[in-house]
Amino acid sequence: MSSDLGPGASEAPSSGVSRYRFVILAVVWLSYVMVFLARLSVGPLSPYLKSSFELSLAQVGGLMGATAVAYAPTLIVAGWLVDRVGVRRMLVAGTFITGICVGAMSLAPSYAWLLALLAISGLGAGCIYPCAVKAVMTWFPLRERATAIGFNQTGVNLSGIVGAATLPTVAERYGWQYGFLAVGALGLVICLLAAVLYRDREQPLPALGPVAPRRGATPAGGSQVTAPAGRSLSPPGAGAQTIARDTWTAGSSASFDCPLTADGPAAGSPGSTSGSQSVTRRLLASRDIWILGVAGLFLGVVEFSGLAHLVVYLQEEWLYTAVAAGGLLALCEAAGGVAKPASGVISDRLLGGRRRPALLVLCALAAASCLALALAGPALGWLLYVVLALFGVAAVGWGGLFGTTAGELGGRPAAGVAAGLTAAIVNVGILFGPPVFGAIVDATGSYGTAWLAMTVAAVAALVCIALVREPSCHTMSLSPESLSET
C-alpha cells in the first residue's frame, strides 16, 4: 500500500485536500437526495395517481418497483464504469438522466407512460449508489467510512421526508404533475453542481487504524511506530503484502482494506485496469458478497413495500387523511435518517469497525415492528407512532452499514463493482416486494397478512447477515508482535 497521496495531498486531516472530502461527500449526498426523491415520490403521490389512473394496489406497487427494472442491471454496469472512468462523469450522467425522466412524468398521459419513464429513470438512478460508495472508499480513511456512508444514506431519508411532507400538499393545490416537474428541475440543478464541484481523486487515502506503538521522538515532539532494521510493518497473514512506510504517528488510525484485494498506488484511480479482472473474479467468487446481497434483497422488500403502501394503509385501515399519513411516512424517513449515521458511528467507534452486530440488531428490530403491525394493526392506538419510528430506524436505516460492508468486502479497487452488484440484488427485492405486498392485500383483503410476510422477510435477512464473514482487517491492528520479517 503506497503512502503517496499525489501532488499537494496530505494525509493529515488539517490539509486542504483532506478537508475537501467533505465537499465530495456533500455533492454525493445531494445527488442521493435528488435520485431518491424521484424514486420515493410515488409513495406520497400514490393516492392521487391511484385516483387519476384508476389503479389497483398491485399497480401502485408496480410504480414503486418500476425504477428497479433498469436500476438493478444499471448498478452492475455503473459499478464497473465507476471503477474505470471515475465518479464525476457517472454522477453527472446519472443526475441528468433521472432529472429529465422524472420531469417528463408530469406530461404522462397514462399508467403505461408512468411505468416507462420511471423505468428509464432507473438508468440514471443506478449510477449514483456505486458513485457514493467509491467516493467514500477513495476519499475517507477506514475509521470514518461507515459514518460517512451512513451520513450519505440520510439523503434517502431526507428525500422521503421532503417528499412526504410537501408532495401531497403540492398535489392538493396544483396537481400531482407539478410534484414530478419540481423534482425533475432539482435533478438538473444538482447535475450542474456535480459537474462543477466534484473531483476524482487519483490516489485514495491510506486506510490506517489504531497503532500499538513502540514510542520514539518525532521532529514535532510526537511519537512514532518504527519498524526494526530489516523488518516491516504488515498485517498478520498478509504474506508478501507489506506496508510501504516504516513509520506512523502513534494514535493514528491503522487498519487495512479487506485482503480480498491488493491495493496498489493507483488501484483506486479512474481508468486503472491493472489486476482489475483478477480482483473482479475473486469478488464474484466470494460467498460473502452474494449472501450479503441476498440479505439486502429481503431488507429491500421490507423497506420499499412499507414505504410504497404506508400512506394508503393508514388511509384505509386507520382513516388518516393523505396529508396526515404523509406526515407519518415522514416520521419513518426521519427515524431512518437518524439511524444511518448513528449506526455508522456505533460501528466505527464502539464496535471497532465491525458491521455485522449492528446489522443483526437492525434486522431484529425490523421484524419486531412488522410483526406488531401484522398482529395488532389499528389496536396499537398511540403506539403506532413508536412502531413506525422503530420501523424507520431498522427497516429504513440499514443502508449505510450495508453499503459500507459491501465496499469493504470489495476493497478500494473493486468498491464500485461490489456496491453495484449487491445493490442490484437488493433491487430485485425492491422490484417484486411492493407489488407482491399489494397483491396480498388485494387477494386476502388483509393488511395484516402482508405485514406478516414482511416479518418473514426481515427474519430471512437476519439469518443471511449472520452467515456473512466480515473481513478480518476490520479488527487488524499493528503491534510489536505483528511485525514480520521481510
Q: For residues 65-71, give the mean pLDDT.
A: 77
* pLDDT exceeds cutoff 80 at 364: yes
Q: For residues 267-272, give the mean pLDDT.
A: 44
More confident residue, 251 or 30: 30
Rounded CA-CA distance 481/52 in Å is: 70
pLDDT at residue number 51: 83
Rounded CA-CA distance 127/210 in Å is: 34
Q: For residues 221-243, give the mean pLDDT.
A: 39
Residue ranges of domains in the chain, CATH in brackets? 16-204+280-474 (1.20.1250.20)
Q: With residue 233 as reference, give the H or E element that holds it.
A: strand 231-233
Helical segments of 126-175, H only: 128-139, 142-173
Rounded CA-CA distance 461/358 in Å is: 13
pLDDT at residue number 472: 62
Q: Which band of pLDDT confidence, cut at 50, 70 and 90, is reported for residue 279? A: low
Q: Which band of pLDDT confidence, cut at 50, 70 and 90, is reported for residue 475? A: very low
DSSP per residue, 266-290 = TTTSTT--TTHHHHHHHHHT-HHHH
Cα distances from 265 to residues 58, 157, 205, 229, 252, in angstroms, run 51, 36, 10, 24, 20
Q: For residues 236-264, give the mean pLDDT.
A: 35
pLDDT at residue number 164: 78
pLDDT digits (tens, 9 = 90+) for 120-174: 988 888 888 888 888 888 888 878 888 888 888 788 778 877 887 888 888 888 8
Angle at 371 between CA 439 and CA 364, to 5 degrees: 115
* pLDDT exceeds cutoff 80 at 259: no
For the CA atoms of 217, 238, 286, 458, what is the dihedral angle to 10 degrees? Answer: -40
More confident residue, 241 or 198: 198
Q: Which three cell numbers stand for residue 394?
A: 431498522
Q: For residues 165-190, give the mean pLDDT.
A: 87
At 24, the amino acid letter reads I
Rounded CA-CA distance 195/187 in Å is: 12
Q: Which of 73-77, 228-232, 444-448 has the lowest mean pLDDT?
A: 228-232
pLDDT at residue number 16: 39
More confident residue, 88 or 72: 88
Q: Which of the listed ranges 240-254, 320-334, 421-435, 456-470 does the model predict with the highest average pLDDT? A: 456-470
Q: Which band of pLDDT confidence, cut at 50, 70 and 90, is reported for residue 276? A: low
* pLDDT exceeds cutoff 50 at 483: no
Q: Which band of pLDDT confidence, cut at 50, 70 and 90, is reported for residue 479? A: very low
pLDDT at residue number 57: 77
More confident residue, 104 or 475: 104
* pLDDT exceeds cutoff 50 at 370: yes
Rounded CA-CA distance 462/362 in Å is: 9
pLDDT at residue number 464: 96
Sign of CA dihedral 459, 62, 125, 161: negative
pLDDT at residue number 17: 42
Angle at 149 between CA 143 and CA 151, to 5 degrees: 105
Task: Give this prediction's pTM.
Answer: 0.65
pLDDT digits (tens, 9 = 90+) for 405-428: 988 887 767 777 888 889 889 988
Q: Which of 69-73, 76-80, 101-105, 229-233 has the lowest mean pLDDT?
A: 229-233
pLDDT at residue number 64: 73
Q: For residues 316-344, give the mean pLDDT.
A: 87
Q: For residues 228-236, give the mean pLDDT.
A: 40
What mean pLDDT is reported for the chain?
77
